[in-house]
Amino acid sequence: MADVIVGIQWGDEGKGKIVDALAKEYDYVVRYQGGHNAGHTIVVDSQKIALHLLPSGILYSHCKNVIGNGVVINLNALLDEMSAFKDLEGRLFISDKAHIILPYHEILDKAREKSLQQTAIGTTGKGIGPCYTDKIARHGVRITDLKHLELLRSKIESIHAQMQYVQSLYGVELPSVDSVMAHIESIAPKILPFVVDSAQLLWSAQAQGKKILCEGAQGSMLDIDHGTYPFVTSSTTIAAGACSGSGLAPRDIHSVIGIAKAYCTRVGNGAFPTEEKGDIGHRIREVGKEFGTTTGRARRCGWFDALAVRYACRLNGCDSISLMKLDVLDGFECVKVCVGYEYEGKEIDYVPTDYEGVKPIYKVFEGWDKTSHVREFSALPQAAKLYIQELEKLIGVRIAMISTSPERADIIRR
């Protein structure tokens, strides 16, 4: 059976730390969607380790790590990340069905964002969206194409011809077919030893009784179908994506662990009802070090949105929640939680499709002094305990783990 780790807010919830905490109990860790626009930061003995494409189980020598078919891969970024680790053969596997981000994807991504100006999505500009667009349009390039370079050249030539409109529309210059192919030919031999049919690999692992952990990128509120569209990512970020992005069947999923911060953040544009743009938001950002792992850009910060989290828990079928960064709220005189919305002149208790028009209705909680580095629930300040217990009631899911610092060991298990 497989368990799934999924973000329950707008991403950056701290999934990497929980995957890292759990990975030692699993034989396989599978990344099932997203690209190198995502980042997981893990702190081990005060040393920060940033992962973008490699599954978080890569830090454990016994774990086999799979980049699934639902991931889109920048080959340069992958090789750079692989270079930081030794002895990856037999520990890293790349799906032959995963799609490749080509140089023109990044050019198109940045050009589109620039042209949209005020209505820009706020992407990382790394070509993720255009790569997924080509995948859905059925003219993408997959990892398996690296095995047949002559056929790949003809495919690149066809794509390049179709992309000519970009040069005139956005005033950019696309790399030539020869330069793209020369680059791919130099990289392919370094990638191919790790390429497998990942679905077959995972089915075989299941038949042998191996334990599998699937990790997603981004968060449920950025899901292409169920998120705050159009300000979303280009893949299925909810637990259902673990199946489509790995080859596992729904019946193979045992439990779903949702990850949420004790407050809320998002990057890019789009609705964020509980955002605090003044001193409170600034304080959360500075104390929580809310700057992107991949881009370094500042995250928008605000209070916990119980309606959004409850909605995401239902979408994912969460069995439990891991609550991250409780310690960031230490020292606040009061802490707020969104428990309802004002929408079209009335109060509602659900997430509407037209999310841009909602205003938060808050419940105010007493603040607390210190939760940092606490590892037992009984040792938490009473006000922090009450906050956690009330969150459980509001979202309808048990909070099974609580992180109280960036350090690997600072986790309360309930």
112 is in an annotated binding site: no
pLDDT digit string, tens, across residues 29-68:
999 999 997 666 666 666 677 788 999 889 899 999 999 9
Shared domain check, 179 and 218: no
Is 146 a member of any domain? yes
Is 238 a member of any domain? yes
Shared domain check, 116 and 217: no
Q: Report the 10 Å Cβ neighbour count for 10.
A: 31
pLDDT level of residue 374 (50, 70, 90 thresholds) = very high
Stretch among 41-50, 75-84, 248-257, 327-336 having the lowest mean pLDDT: 41-50
Shared domain check, 267 and 319: yes
Shared domain check, 237 and 353: yes
Shared domain check, 396 and 336: yes
197 is in an annotated binding site: no
Is 93 a member of any domain? no
Provide the whole-model pTM. 0.92
Shared domain check, 160 and 235: no
Instruction: Report which residue type is found at 86.
Output: K
Domain, as residue range, for 256? 2-83+198-413
- Give the Cα separation of 103 and 113 in Å (integer): 16
13 is in an annotated binding site: yes
> Could you give the C-alpha distances from 410 to 13, 213, 238, 327, 396, in angstroms and in order?
16, 21, 27, 10, 25
- Give the Cα separation of 308 and 266 in Å (integer): 13
Shared domain check, 253 and 108: no
Shared domain check, 219 and 286: yes
Pick the last residue of a domain from 166, 193, 220.
193
Assess whether pLDDT exceeds 90 at residue 260: yes
Stretch among 102-106, 114-118, 255-259 having the lowest mean pLDDT: 114-118
The DSSP annotation for 61-119 comes to TT-EEEE-TTBEE-HHHHHHHHTTSS--TTTEEEETT-EE--HHHHHHHHHHHHHHGGG
Is 365 a member of any domain? yes
* Count of domains forming the chain: 2
123 is in an annotated binding site: no
Shared domain check, 253 and 140: no
Is 308 a member of any domain? yes
Shared domain check, 272 and 357: yes
Assess whether pLDDT exceeds 90 at residue 285: yes
Shared domain check, 347 and 220: yes
Pick the last residue of a domain from 140, 175, 193.
193
**Catalytic positions:** 12, 40, 135
Is 88 a member of any domain? no
